[in-house]
A and B are shown apart, each in its own frame.
Chain A
């Protein structure tokens, strides 16, 4: 009996989405096969890693997470610049954490100023990630869209509740959007349909399936992404044929297993390496499931995952 590896019959292609403009623009998507299944299809654009930058100096980061940025962490534009110039960032994901009404609750204009400063400084594409409060984000991202006009940034997260407001300004100012749904294929599809009805062009939609941290629900996100890809590539589900973005940095770095030191629990080993591996093992899992962009924190995690992407795509 001769060996023949059964091939999957792919009928769909993931749409190619470009973020940013000019020579530094980044295109993701375009896959015609499952992730890294190079023997039966193409991944014309390798998955990308976005470095996260916060809009305000983080208060509760581990020392070993702060360390690579300690000279710039109080200054978002300088922080973003360091990610690009020193750590080779190809995308910056600006997290508007300080907007959170349950946290710092900073005023919209104060944050918009930070966004503008960062947008004017960076030479790579920008993702601007709100605080996941539907109302605040609707107001905030509207202004962000205005000040980033012409830069083709990716704005999000857009939920079922605020997609109209943010979607409309994204169309007006030519930005891409991150359609966010709570770990469910049908809800993801529904929001994509709604965005389409609203007039958001197909080449401007990225999907955020909601990301669970390693040991904290990773498997739910993992399987939703796999199901997304299966529907998109083999079941002609055109409304799921969009690139997937996983915002995993915060989900990993807030867990207690990235906070405990070796002295707290010797069996967990060195805290720095452990946190880096928790972040990069999580990222690898999502990339294997089908993520096109992973948002990460530590430069060493990024370097490790970048190296793996290279190995898996060549």
Chain B
């Protein structure tokens, strides 16, 4: 639906007033088309043109923000069906369900686990972000849960169909921008008002895609923009197909009523946490905005956090690992020294194989801008001079008494230059494949 620069230009005042900091309206139009400028920079565009332009420039799937601060979650805003077509932008938020019917121990445990399960990986923190608080009839306890959640940093989903309960909950929590769940065909008018008054995003729950779309349309007609969709489907096959259907309708069909992120409930679709985890894995791949779990355990959430990281990695940009010396298996002054590039997949595989070998070692990771060993070598970034300078500056010489360094088999050609660059060091050519590192290290002396 994006307009071309020329189409945009036709809607601009064509006065070349330069107040937008562009020399001409045409240049400004081109910048708008490529997403480099904001329409607000032009003070003279007519309201009609503005409406047309913002309509056309609105992303086909609305980006919705839930929560505030460190745990703020952005969902939606996606532009492709397949990650290889560009990338997926906003990873789905992971939420744990807490209800007013749970005992203290269950509640405390869930809050604790939500904070506890955080994992560092390639400079990122992988963690779940949200707590979903569900009203099942005990209002005092529900409101106490809301107060408790407001004292924690996590983003919040408020689940109740009764507008008076929701209103009270919002009075406590609205500054935290919780997701209001959910407007249904019975309550949508009142919930629409609550969403508007509080400025909090609103989940729309219909029976199936059709009814959900109708409700979303009615709510957007009142001026609401930040919606999240739930089709009520709780079976795996149909749920999966609906996620595809909604994304298709929004992206390929330009169908505005479904141009919003979705919320899914594996917690209502399985009897065991194991099964729930696998259902969630389908929604991480295809196309949930939020996934709500009955509980988190390290063994269940960690695999999904990895999957989410993998699927939402930008395929246009190589992932990198920080340059430096990595100590593996508690190395000492006699342990072997290996050098490799900072393409994070290379780092993971090489460090994993060193770990598997159980031989202590120092892995020196050099910044090759995320290129793999062979590509970096071909590009002149992993050659004798650069690797030599890196090793000298890395401080590895202070960590070991010997003077031997192992280079990747695929970079064997740099051996001569590297020895010249590193007088006194012996350069050894390691295996070509990481899988052969354990065998190689076991023979290393």
Contact = CB atoms under 8 A, between A and B. Distances in A.
- B partners with A: yes
Interface of A: 1, 3-6, 36-39, 60, 102-103, 212, 214-220, 222-223, 226-227, 230, 254-257, 262, 266-271, 273-274, 276-278, 280-282, 284-285, 288-289, 300, 304-305, 307-308, 311-314
Contacts of A39: 241, 245
Nearest to A313: B237
Contacts, number: 172
Given A215-B309, A267-B298, A277-B300, 13 more contacts: A1-B255, A6-B252, A37-B244, A102-B439, A223-B82, A256-B352, A256-B355, A262-B298, A267-B117, A268-B298, A278-B303, A281-B278, A311-B237
A266 B298 contact: yes
Contact of A37 (B83, B213, B241, B277): B241
Given A3-B258, A223-B84, A281-B277, A269 B297 contact: yes
Nearest to A214: B306
Nearest to A269: B298
Nearest to A252: B303
Interface in B405-437: 431, 435-436
Q: Decide if the interface of chain B is mainly helix, strand, loop or mixed.
A: helix
Interface in B253-280: 253, 255-258, 274-275, 277-279
B356 A304 contact: no
B253 A6 contact: yes
Nearest to A308: B278
How many of chain B's residues touch chain A, expressed as a range?
Answer: 35 or more
A285 B308 CA distance: 10
B315 interface: yes
Contact of A218 (B256, B310, B356): B310
Contacts of B345: 212, 216-217, 220
13 contacts: A3-B257, A5-B253, A6-B253, A36-B237, A36-B240, A38-B241, A223-B83, A255-B352, A269-B300, A274-B299, A277-B303, A280-B274, A300-B274
B349 to A, nearest CB: 6
A226 B352 contact: no
B218 interface: no
Give the one of A215, A216, A307 with max B CB within 10 A: A215
B236 A102 contact: no
B311 A3 contact: no
A3 to B, nearest CB: 5
Contacts of B299: 268-271, 273-274, 277
A7 to B, nearest CB: 8
Contacts of B304: 281
A83 B262 CA distance: 40
B282 interface: yes
B193 to A, nearest CB: 24
B300 A273 contact: yes
B168 interface: no
A212 B319 CA distance: 15
B44 interface: no
Interface string B196-237: 000000000000011001000100000000000000000111
